[in-house]
Chains A and B, each alone.
Chain A
Amino acid sequence: MNTSSRSNKSKVAAFRTKLSAAMMLVIAAITAFGFYLAQRNVTRDAERGLHQKFGTELSALDKLLALRQAAVTERSRTLAANPRIHAALEDNALDLLYPSAKDELRDLMENRELSADQMAKMLHAKFYRFLDNHGAVLQPPNSQDVGALSAQSEAQLAFKKLPENQQLGYIANDDSPTETIDEVTAVPIFSTETGEVISALVLGFKPLEIVPQVRGTGMKSGVWANGRLHLPSLGKSDTESLAREIADVFTDFKKPKNSLRVAVDGAPHLLFYKRLNPGSVYPPAYEICIYPLAASIGQLHRLRWQIGGVGGLLLLGGFVASHFIAVRFSKPVEQLAVDSEKNRAQRRVAEAALASTTEKLERSTRYSADASHQLKSPLTVLRAGLEALLSREDFNPEIYEELSTLLHHTHRLSGVIEDLLLLSRMDAGYLQIDSAPVNLSQLVQEWLDDLEALPDSPEVKIEKEIPVELYVAGERRYTSLIVQNLLENARKYNRSGGCIRVRARSRDGEVQLKIGNTGQPIASNAQSHIFQRFRRASTGSGVAGHGLGLNVAWELARLHGGDLKLVHSENDWTEFELRLRAAQPAQSA
């Protein structure tokens, strides 16, 4: 009992541990998932936000660029319509081209400090060149008027074939000590006579720069063209490493992205790019914008701490909750274990009790049977001896009287033994009722007749109300024994001048036989165990009886599926009621 309760306790503890572990696992998984989601969302939102910013800033740039392009287009159209330019181009007077254009383009070349917006509108060009009808650059007679340009840079302006549309390009200009990049716009000039492209005007500008909408974002912008990155605000080594990364992206066209993560000065940045001159004959050029990710990373860090904190709290709460839930859950289990242990103990006790009772019962039954048998034989010998002595004629009359009394007692003893035998058989379950219809009316009448014939019968009046042909289901000898016992009791415990009333009736499939008699009633405290063995109502001691009659009658009545009850015992009247199952008379009878 002690060890089993201890093992139960350890089982409950294990259950509790498992439950807490499972709950903590779930909470940990949820926290981790939250981590992952938050991180992903923050990163995505940051990227989306920056991309949007890039888009906005780029669109502002695009607007300026478009403005400038439109102005350039308009200017070239005016230029193409200029009769002198035309004359120079069409009348094979290319030497007069630059002088003729000089006046027209003078305002472009005037070096004035202008804002980007104004620059776009005012077309403040750094240089211009005309291309001949093969796309080659026409050498200006005086490069001062048209903006200085190295031969190398100039070569980048040329086309293999004159384009029919305006072209936007970006060329490296190594004239100045630090290499710069120039935005060039080539505008075809159509002959007003032939409608063909006879020349092109290429205008070079300082590239428009992205002006951050919000100051202090740390955004840096530049242009990537011809495999080179021009990002003046960035250090040389950073620029070179960045250029390599970008080149990798541009060469790998299978993986189109619109952004990439780069490290600048060891800090993570997000780089966006967009082609500046889509569809241009000039080599592709890209606007490059890098944004520091410090803000979003900081936010991510904060969020991580927050989520970590919440996760920790959840974990703690979960631990406590799981503990309580485990305790709560394990209580019934514990109770169950205790209960089942209790039940087992109780069952063992009951089983032992039952076993011992059964054994006792068997033993007593066997004993009773053995005793009956052992008693019967000497009794028969005794009776035979007494009868032999009584048949002699040479004794005094007092001796005959004594012998007769002894013989009477042997008869009583024999009755007791018979009853004990019967009871022991019933207790052992060996008595089988061979049920058949029994004529109760007849049976009662016979016993009443016998009763009147008995020599020691007191003066009692007998009343009877019995319908004729009243049948019950039972074995005749046992039914008879019940009736005999009841009637004998009624006679034995009667007073002188009393009466016995016997009534019988059939109702609802059973027969009620009521036997009542006058005389001293049974004491009220004895009434409850009147049917127990060897119990006799404490009436007059002169009444013969051994205390088994009522018990035998009761047991037999029960065995027949009926019942025997004391219904009344007071005021000089005691009445028993026997109930037996009714039966139909046998067909043959």
Chain B
Amino acid sequence: MDSRGLLWFGAVSTVLRVSIFAQAAVEGRVELPKSHPAPLMAKRYEIVTHGGVLSTEPPVAVVYLEGSFPKPSSLPTKQIAQKNLMFVPSLLPVQVATKIEFPNLDDTYHSIFSYSPAKRFDLGRYRTEERPIPSAIFDKPGLVTLRCDIHEHMRALVLVLDTPHFVISNPEGRYRLGGLPSGHYVLKAWVDSKTTREQPLDLKNGQTAHVDFP
């Protein structure tokens, strides 16, 4: 995850020019790894592990545009709920400084915590009626693995991105990212905890670029 942080840094430094007002889009297809039949225990959960690599099942990709974009004054609060002993959604890309609430929709206790370097937090044990809804602000880019101290199988991934432009592909790997400023960028596709692909991208106003990640 340290290496990913470096990548981020590098990606940001490669942005040459930013056009704030121009509108462009990019679409394409990310070649996703084949759907693995998950181990029986984890089948009902979306985050699966293969050789120490966390990914979603079925596989999806997060495509995001790296660059230096103005910081928004406020960001909408997101939610990852715990329902049926699962995190919903199990993969959530957010912009840096986003606050995520973790409402407990189950009848049991949950105890959400993360030891990931990008965000360490521990919400402690709480029930569905806990108010305010326990939350955490993700102020550092990186991949954060969410766990429950009580239910060891529960996993969720929060991909904290230093960009407002990101999208989750459909299970076929198709994506479309619109409302983008023109300029030279690096387009990245997060596939799993160990794999992030990237393509250089030239965006022009009113144009839709086509970038596939083979």
Contact = CB atoms under 8 A, between A and B. Distances in A.
Interface of A: 81-84, 86-88, 90-93, 96, 191-194, 196
21 contacts: A81-B152, A82-B152, A83-B113, A83-B149, A83-B150, A83-B152, A84-B113, A84-B149, A87-B147, A88-B115, A90-B52, A91-B114, A92-B116, A92-B117, A93-B116, A93-B117, A96-B120, A192-B49, A193-B49, A194-B52, A196-B52
5 residue pairs, one from A and one from B, having the closest CB atoms: A93-B115, A193-B49, A87-B115, A194-B52, A91-B115
Nearest to B111: A83
Nearest to B48: A193
Interface of B: 1, 49, 51-52, 54, 113-117, 120, 145, 147-152
Nearest to B147: A83
Given A83-B150, A83-B152, A90-B52, 11 more contacts: A81-B152, A83-B148, A83-B149, A83-B151, A84-B147, A87-B115, A91-B117, A91-B145, A92-B116, A93-B116, A194-B51
A96 B52 contact: no
Contacts of B148: 83
Nearest to A96: B115
Contacts of A193: 49, 52, 54
Nearest to A198: B52
Contacts of A84: 113, 115, 147, 149
Contacts of B116: 87, 91-93
Contacts of A91: 114-117, 145
Contacts of B151: 83
A191 B115 contact: no
Contacts of B115: 84, 87-88, 91, 93, 96
A191 B151 CA distance: 16
A443 to B, nearest CB: 151
Interface of B is mostly: strand
Contacts of B120: 93, 96
Contact of B52 (A83, A88, A93, A191): A191
A81 B148 CA distance: 12
A35 B114 CA distance: 80
B145 A87 contact: yes
A193 B145 CA distance: 13
B52 A192 contact: no
Interface core residue of A81, A86, A87, A96 (most chain B CB under 10 Å): A87
A196 B52 CA distance: 9
Contacts of A96: 115, 120
A193 B147 CA distance: 13
A91 B52 CA distance: 11
A194 B114 contact: no
A93 B145 CA distance: 12
A82, A84, A88, A91: most-surrounded residue (chain B CB, <10 A)? A91
A83 B122 CA distance: 12
Contacts of B1: 92
A194 B54 CA distance: 10
B51 A87 contact: no
A493 B187 CA distance: 188
Given A92-B1, A93-B120, A192-B152, A87 B52 contact: no
Contacts of B49: 192-194
B147 A86 contact: yes
A83 B150 CA distance: 8
B117 A86 contact: no
Contacts of A82: 152
A86 B114 contact: no
Contacts of B54: 193
A98 to B, nearest CB: 13
A87 B117 contact: no
Given A91-B115, A91-B116, A93-B116, A86 B152 contact: yes
A78 to B, nearest CB: 11
Task: Point out which of A81, A82, A193 has the most chain B C-beta atoms below 10 A from its C-beta.
Answer: A193
A81 B150 CA distance: 11
Nearest to A89: B115
Contacts of B149: 83-84
Contacts of A196: 52
A309 B131 CA distance: 99
A92 B120 CA distance: 11
